[in-house]
């Protein structure tokens, strides 16, 4: 069975530009959003695509277009083989007791491809030495922890061919630096701009994968 997500965060989830671009660039005409939460992508794209959304629980926002949503377990989807061109799975696999089973279901019901994201759990040596980590490590609804290598390997094991994989959602260090060094006022603003321009390494909180059947 699929475990319940954090109902507060998924009820309030908005459209992420980088995920939306991945859909617009890669999705076929018929789309299933698995783990759709409040249905923000389904509602956003309903006029452009033949799109449906499923989740383990009902969200009130579905009531605006109820025919586009249903309650379903990601590991036991109630659709026939090759029912959709594209399956979306955004921030879902980390919650599932059997993520590989869900990926096999995605493979079974899609005709063309899969677009998914999971939290990036690759901790750098600098993070370890600073005793820091991404916030999603402490989310108790997360029972799987992926980095780019492990998620792409899991997708391949399900039968897909990975055609794109990249990081999205850059982490900003400025709030931490502002707090640590009390960078307030005009001087603080100037220092933050300088630090931002001179940052040598970027950190991302999300892995995005596009895979073909």
Q: Could you give the CA distance from residue 158 to residue 205 in angstroms, rounded to a whole number?
A: 24
Whether the per-residue pLDDT at 4 is higher than 60: the answer is: no
pLDDT per residue over 55-105, tens digit each? Answer: 999 999 999 999 999 999 999 999 999 999 999 999 999 999 999 999 999
Q: What is the pLDDT of residues 53-63, one digit of tens each?
A: 999 999 999 99
> Could you tell me the sign of the dihedral formed by the alpha carbons of 48, 49, 50, 53, in that order?
negative
pTM score over 0.85: yes
Mean pLDDT of 175-201: 79
Helix axes 99-109, 148-157, angle to 10 degrees: 50
Q: What pLDDT was estimated at residue 143?
A: 95
pLDDT score recorded for residue 116: 98
Give the residue carrying structure tokens 């990601």. 74
Q: What does the alpha-carbon distance between residue 92 and residue 182 come to, in Å, rounded to a whole number?
A: 37
pLDDT category of residue 11 using cuts at 50, 70 and 90: low
Q: In this predicted model, what pLDDT tens digit does every residue of 105-123 receive, in sequence order? A: 999 999 999 999 999 999 9
Residue 69 makes CB contacts below 8 A (sequence gap 6+) with 36, 39, 42, 52, 53, 54, 55, 58, 59, 62
Rounded distance between C-alpha atoms, residue 93 and residue 121, angstroms: 13
């Amino acid at each position: 069975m699929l475990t319940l997500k954090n109902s507060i965060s998924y009820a309030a989830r908005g459209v992420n530009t980088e995920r939306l671009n991945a859909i617009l660039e890669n999705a076929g005409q018929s789309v299933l959003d698995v783990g759709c939460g409040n249905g923000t992508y389904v509602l956003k794209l309903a006029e452009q695509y033949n799109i449906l959304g499923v989740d383990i629980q009902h969200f009130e926002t579905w009531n605006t277009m109820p025919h586009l949503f249903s309650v379903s377990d990601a590991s036991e989807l109630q659709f026939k083989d090759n029912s959709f061109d594209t399956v979306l799975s955004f921030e879902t696999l980390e919650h599932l007791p059997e993520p590989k089973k869900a990926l096999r279901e995605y493979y079974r019901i899609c005709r063309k491809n899969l677009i998914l994201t999971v939290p990036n759990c690759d901790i750098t040596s600098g993070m370890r030495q600073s005793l820091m980590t991404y916030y999603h490590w402490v989310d108790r609804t997360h029972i799987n922890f992926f980095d780019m290598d492990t998620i792409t390997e899991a997708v391949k094991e399900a039968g897909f061919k990975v055609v794109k994989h990249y990081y999205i959602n850059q982490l900003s260090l400025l709030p931490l630096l502002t707090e640590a060094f009390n960078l307030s006022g005009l001087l603080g603003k100037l220092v933050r701009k300088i630090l931002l321009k001179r940052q040598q390494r970027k950190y991302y909180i999300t892995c995005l994968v596009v895979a073909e059947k």
